Chain A
Amino acid sequence: MNNKTILVLALTTATFVGCASFPDAQSTAKSAEQMVAEAHAIGTPDMKQRTVQDHSQRTCSAIGGAKLTSSQAAEITKTARDSIRYPSSGKLAGDWKTGARLTTDGRGQRIVNGKIEARKENGALCINCHALDPSDVNAGNLGPALIGYGKQRGNAEAVARYTYERIYNAWAFMPCSNMPRLGASGFLTPEQIAHVVAYLVDPLSPVNNSR
């Protein structure tokens, strides 16, 4: 074989080896969504509804990570803002001790064999992603450390409000953030969030008062 034959052969083989094309984005989305619809053999319609995306989730799902246009960002921020509800008491900072218990509780809403785990209330999950009390080293780092949060920012009404809203719907501040929209999705109640706010801002909380 001379070099030319080899090159021709190689080119033919290269095409054969798998340079065939990938499907376009639209047909990929269509077949993947079909897979989602069929992937869960058991579970109530309510549970399956969890696999249906809302508009903001869809925007935040771009392959390779969402690079939002300014109008997309504005739309997600506005939807998130509009979702925020406050405790009926009007108090945005509750009881920090209750908040302490909630922040270290990572359970709630998980499904096994078509059943949702039985619990009185969901945990707030914070410690899965954030360091809070410096003496508790069993903390994740998906989000920034919040040690000394209230010490740095004070516990003025404005700080409590910002913190409350941020937990209620993180996407009002950072669209497509990895932080779940814990209040907006109904995972946490406004009262639970207020307890967590107290845990972050209260000067007596271990977050701000480390021994």
Chain B
Amino acid sequence: MIRNVGRVAAMATVLAITLCPALAQDKAGNGLAVGRQMLAEDNPGELWVERGRRLFHEKRGPRNASLEQCDLGEGPGVVKGVFAHLPRYFADTGKVQDLESRLLTCMVQLQGFKREDIIRTRFGTLDRNSDLEALVSYIGAASNGMRMNVRLKHAQERDMYKAGEYLFYRRTGPLDFACVTCHGDSGKRIRLQELPNMTRAEELREIIPTGWPAYRGTHSTVRTMQHRLYDCFWQMRLPDLGYASDLSVALTTYLYHSANGGVINLPGVRR
């Protein structure tokens, strides 16, 4: 019976892939993650992972509660495997959420922190650590070795994916930039900074699951995907990207789904 279930699942996948070209990327493998692994040795990001682990289990906030009841998609307190499936739809909030917006929900609802306070301290500085940067490091690393598998099962997840795709190509601002302006071709650079081509699943599978959270040498801290997007919006001369905004989650849904199949190895290391 178990074997039959396996066969059913395998056939279902094959059928789903044949019937829905948009899902076909899910199964593709990844042979490119190896080089990055070498970078990850001696990764200072490990310190953030450890601090995140402590913060996750510690009773904190006005309600003196840990995050052990936080459901990141795989059940209360489960951290293993959640990164592989985020962003995803959460019934209690009625929204598609990425890791960071989901953590925000938990910290507000379970621990009683004020949303504005967490958002104000979302990005660490040299003299103030960010709890979110640590928590995201811990939770991201708990999926190491697994493959990205953003499933788009819920209608709202598919809406987010399509909105993200639309936004990736949306040109605006005084410099007419869209994401695709800088991330639409391989081998391009802004000055000496190499720009990954995000229209190629192969490149996305390499960078996304080994990317953010990432220890950024130039910032001396771990940065998250929300920060990476914030940074690109800044370069685009657009107003500050709202933390956990739907726009940010839409872009993440689009990029992460397109990176399906890539092997997770977090936190990453970036310049």
Q: Which residues of A contact B (CB under 8 A)?
A: 1, 6-7, 9-11, 13-14, 16-23, 27-29, 31-32, 35-36, 38-43, 47-48, 50-53, 57, 60-65, 106, 109-114, 125, 127-129, 137-142, 178, 180-182, 185-187
User: Could you jot down 17 A-B contacts, CB within 8 Å?
Assistant: A14-B13, A17-B23, A22-B162, A28-B159, A32-B250, A35-B247, A36-B167, A40-B240, A40-B242, A41-B242, A50-B174, A51-B172, A61-B170, A63-B169, A64-B169, A142-B195, A185-B176
Partner of A138, one of B15, B169, B192: B192
Residues in A whose Cβ lies below 8 Å from that of B245: 35, 38-41
Q: Which residue of A lies closest to B246 (CB)?
A: A35
**Quick one: CB contact mask for B150-194 with A, threshold 8 Å, 1 for yes?**
011101001101110111011111111110111010011111110
Report yes or no: B8 in contact with A53, Cβ–Cβ below 8 A: no
In residues 1-30 of chain B, which contact A (Cβ within 8 Å)? Answer: 4, 7-9, 11-13, 15-16, 19-20, 22-23
Minimum Cβ distance to chain A for residue B189 (Å): 5
Given A18-B151, A65-B180, verify A50-B239 contact (CB < 8 Å). yes
Partner of A31, one of B9, B163, B174, B180: B163
Residues in A whose Cβ lies below 8 Å from that of B15: 10-11, 14
Report yes or no: A51 in contact with B238, Cβ–Cβ below 8 A: yes
Bound complex: CA of A32 vs CA of B239, how far in Å?
A: 17
Report yes or no: B8 in contact with A39, Cβ–Cβ below 8 A: no
What 9 A-B pairs come out closest when comparing CB atoms? A43-B239, A10-B11, A13-B12, A14-B15, A39-B247, A40-B239, A180-B175, A32-B163, A35-B247
Which of A17, A63, A185 has the most chain B CB within a 10 Å cutoff?
A17
Partner of B20, one of A10, A19, A63: A19
Report yes or no: A141 in contact with B19, Cβ–Cβ below 8 A: no
Report yes or no: A57 in contact with B8, Cβ–Cβ below 8 A: no
Bound complex: CA of A27 vs CA of B191, how far in Å?
A: 38
Partner of A185, one of B163, B174, B191, B247: B174
Partner of A140, one of B4, B180, B189: B189
Q: Which residues of B contact A (CB under 8 A)?
A: 4, 7-9, 11-13, 15-16, 19-20, 22-23, 151-153, 155, 158-159, 161-163, 165-167, 169-178, 180-182, 184, 187-193, 195, 234-235, 237-242, 245-248, 250
Bound complex: CA of A167 vs CA of B153, how far in Å?
A: 47
Report yes or no: B16 in contact with A51, Cβ–Cβ below 8 A: no
Given A28-B163, A38-B245, verify A180-B190 contact (CB < 8 Å). no
Q: Which residue of B lies closest to A7 (CB)?
A: B11
Partner of A127, one of B19, B163, B191, B242: B191
Minimum Cβ distance to chain A for residue B266 (Å): 25
Report yes or no: A178 in contact with B181, Cβ–Cβ below 8 A: yes
Partner of B176, one of A11, A28, A181: A181
Report yes or no: A39 in contact with B246, Cβ–Cβ below 8 A: yes
Partner of B12, one of A10, A61, A141, A182: A10
Given A36-B247, A65-B184, A180-B176, verify A22-B158 contact (CB < 8 Å). yes
Bound complex: CA of A42 vs CA of B8, how far in Å?
A: 51
Q: Which residue of A lies closest to B175 (CB)?
A: A180
Minimum Cβ distance to chain A for residue B185 (Å): 8
Partner of B237, one of A11, A23, A41, A50: A50
Minimum Cβ distance to chain B for residue A124 (Å): 12
Report yes or no: B151 in contact with A142, Cβ–Cβ below 8 A: no
Q: Which residue of A lies closest to B12 (CB)?
A: A13
Report yes or no: B235 in contact with A110, Cβ–Cβ below 8 A: yes
Residues in A whose Cβ lies below 8 Å from that of B246: 35, 38-39
Q: Which residue of A lies closest to B11 (CB)?
A: A10
Bound complex: CA of A125 vs CA of B175, how far in Å?
A: 10
Minimum Cβ distance to chain A for residue B10 (Å): 8
Partner of B173, one of A51, A113, A140: A51
Report yes or no: B242 in contact with A9, Cβ–Cβ below 8 A: no
Residues in B whose Cβ lies below 8 Å from that of A7: 11
Residues in B whose Cβ lies below 8 Å from that of A142: 181-182, 188-190, 195
Bound complex: CA of A16 vs CA of B11, how far in Å?
A: 13
Report yes or no: A42 in contact with B176, Cβ–Cβ below 8 A: no
Minimum Cβ distance to chain B for residue A39 (Å): 4
Report yes or no: A62 in contact with B169, Cβ–Cβ below 8 A: yes
Report yes or no: A53 in contact with B171, Cβ–Cβ below 8 A: yes
